[in-house]
């Protein structure tokens, strides 16, 4: 049996590639952050069942679109990466949500600017990645939110005594 990491690799995405995005997002706020820390956080996100199921679904749709096996008009919509199609963002959001809403901002930012590995996924010469580019952005945003939530220097707000 292979792992979710191999499934991503098969689509041209490495855990390190996602971790580099996390580092880009979080290092301005966290001077001691290392790439290893980011890799560990991406791995933790990838272990979540919710995340795996979103990946299974989105990658299947990308692959079926490459093989021209989707019914019309969905086949056309994915082939053209129709900008008004929002199901890819919807799935990515379900990943980002797993570590709370603070990942939302990072997700949108990544989805707009497409840095690092997202650039490669977004290049139409490299196959159809309508879902995968958003899902990878969602994973990076979630892994980044996870680091922020686990930062021991993050303030805990206690309740006053009643």
Q: Under the rule (CB under 8 A), what is the footprint of a copy of itself?
A: 1-4, 6-7, 10, 29, 48-50, 52-54, 56-57, 60-61, 63-64, 69-74, 76-77, 80, 82-87, 89-91, 93-94, 97-98, 100-102, 104-113, 148-149, 154-155, 157-162
DSSP 70: S
C-alpha closest to that of 98 among 133, 34, 144, 56:
144
Give the nearer residue to a copy of itself in terms of CB position, either 4 or 44.
Answer: 4
Taking the complex as a whole, the smallest distance from the CB of residue 147 to a copy of itself amounts, in Å, to 11
Distance between CA atoms of 91 and 149, rounded to whole angstroms? 22
Taking the complex as a whole, the smallest distance from the CB of residue 134 to a copy of itself amounts, in Å, to 9
Distance between CA atoms of 146 and 102, rounded to whole angstroms? 10
Give the nearer residue to a copy of itself in terms of CB position, either 2 or 125.
Answer: 2
Taking the complex as a whole, the smallest distance from the CB of residue 17 to a copy of itself amounts, in Å, to 18
Taking the complex as a whole, the smallest distance from the CB of residue 42 to a copy of itself amounts, in Å, to 17
For 19-56, give one letter per residue: b (16+ CB within 10 A) or e. Answer: bbbbbbbbeeebeebeeebbbebbebbbeeeebbebbe
Tell me the chain's radius of gyration from C-alpha atoms: 17
């Amino acid at each position: 049996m292979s792992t979710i990491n191999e499934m991503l690799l098969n689509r041209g995405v490495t855990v390190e590639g996602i971790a580099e995005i996390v580092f880009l997002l979080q290092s301005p706020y966290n001077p001691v952050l290392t790439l290893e820390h980011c890799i560990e956080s991406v791995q933790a996100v990838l272990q979540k069942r919710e995340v795996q199921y979103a990946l299974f679904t989105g990658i299947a749709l990308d692959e079926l679109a490459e093989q021209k096996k989707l019914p019309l008009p969905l086949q056309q919509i994915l082939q053209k990466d129709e900008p008004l199609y929002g199901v890819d963002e919807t799935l990515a959001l379900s990943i980002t949500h797993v570590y709370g809403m603070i990942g939302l901002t990072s997700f949108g930012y990544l989805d707009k600017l497409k840095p690092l590995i997202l650039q490669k996924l977004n290049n139409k010469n490299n196959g159809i990645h309508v879902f995968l580019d958003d899902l990878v952005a969602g994973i990076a945003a979630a892994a980044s939110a996870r680091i922020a939530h686990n930062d021991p220097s993050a303030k805990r707000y206690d309740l006053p005594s009643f």
